[in-house]
Amino acid sequence: MHPVDMDKIATWPTRVTAFLTAHSRELRAEREADHKYTLSPSTYRIMNDAPPMPRWDEAKALIENVMADRELVAFHATRLIDFDHIRKDGLMMLDLEQHVARLKGHLQDAGAVDELAEVDAAVTKMLKADSFFNNREGAVWATPHRASLHDGGCDVFYESYGGEAIERIAGYARGKLEQRLKQLGTPAVVIIRYSAYGWCKFTHGRLPQSMIELHLQHEGDWEAMDYGWDIMINRDVPAENIVAVVPLDDPAVAA
């Protein structure tokens, strides 16, 4: 069974699209009423309950049921030296010590003695300034939407080899090391497939809402108000879940 691509409604389960199409008018009316209530003065909201959304809730329950055993396509922004390494070994959760060791190896191979000498001091400064970095970034991060790769949120991952961890280190190093890191590797996107439920806790809450909003937008005369999420996978993504590894300008990841 092919994974569901949030950007391509033709890949969505027909049970979901058929329901959303059949009840489009009710879904729009309920969402508009809810949006109006949300924007109303706080005094009004204190005195009045939010409008019921029975059809919206029914749609969310259906999506949760249908998508329970399905996979989603997701996109991971990075900057790579070796594309085949990801295809062979998959994506691993951030291990800063391993990341830094690999960086030092590349600098050593390049004969970048001055830059190599800057690494440890830069890492120390970075961790002192952001002691929660390892815990916060110790996962595989991705997005379900191609547009999110190009909206500014992921740009940092393309600026230096190794993504945000190395970008932050470079920021504390400045000088030669910062410039060297901007010359290493190629901006790339790793396309993965992952279980809709069980791999990312944010997906559980955001997927149904996003599918309804995006389907309404697809039908026309509607701008999705609330959709998308950051995919945080607290496990390595194995090679069998890697769909493709492509340069940033590949048509497969064009927004």
DSSP state letters, 9-38? GGGS-HHHHHHHHHTHHHHHHHHHHHHHHH
- Distance separating alpha carbons of residues 197 and 205, to the nearest angstrom: 10
Among 171-175, 199-203, 205-209, name the one with the lowest average pLDDT.
171-175
Is the pLDDT at 152 greater than 70? The verdict is: no
Per-residue pLDDT for 100 more than 90? no
Q: What's the whole-number mean pLDDT along residues 210-231? A: 93
> What's the pLDDT at 251?
95
What pLDDT is stored for residue 74 in this prediction? 96
Q: What pLDDT is recorded for position 9?
A: 97
Q: What is the average pLDDT across 138-145?
A: 90
pLDDT, residue 176, reads: 83
Beta-sheet strand order (sheet of 71-80): 71-80, 186-195, 242-247
Confidence of residue 135 (pLDDT cuts 50, 70, 90): confident
What is the structure's pLDDT at 10? Answer: 97
Statement: residue 159 has pLDDT above 70: no
Mean pLDDT confidence for 121-145: 85
Mean pLDDT computed over every residue of the chain: 89
CA distance 233 to 155: 20
What would the mean pLDDT of 63-89 be, rounded to a whole number? 93
Specify the range with the lowest mean pLDDT, choosing from 32-36, 60-64, 119-123.
119-123
Q: What is the pLDDT of residue 156?
A: 62
Instruction: Name the band, by pLDDT with cuts 50, 70 and 90, for residue 143.
Output: very high
**Averaged over 29-35, what is the pLDDT?**
95
Is the pLDDT reported for residue 151 higher than 70? no
Q: What percent of the chain has pLDDT over 70?
A: 95
Q: Picking from 13-27, 28-42, 152-166, 167-181, which range would have the lowest pLDDT averaged per residue?
A: 152-166
pLDDT of residue 183: 79
Between CA 51 and CA 125 the distance in angstroms is 51
Q: Which two tokens stand for residue 13?
A: 């389960």
Gap between the Cα atoms of 119 and 77, Å rounded: 23
In this prediction, residues 161-175 reach a mean pLDDT of 73
For the whole prediction, is pTM greater than 0.85?
Answer: yes
176 vs 52, higher pLDDT: 52
Predicted pLDDT at 163: 66
Work out the burial of residue 222: count CB atoms within 10 Å of its CB; fewer than 13 is exposed, 13-18 middle, 19 or more buried: middle
pLDDT of residue 165: 77
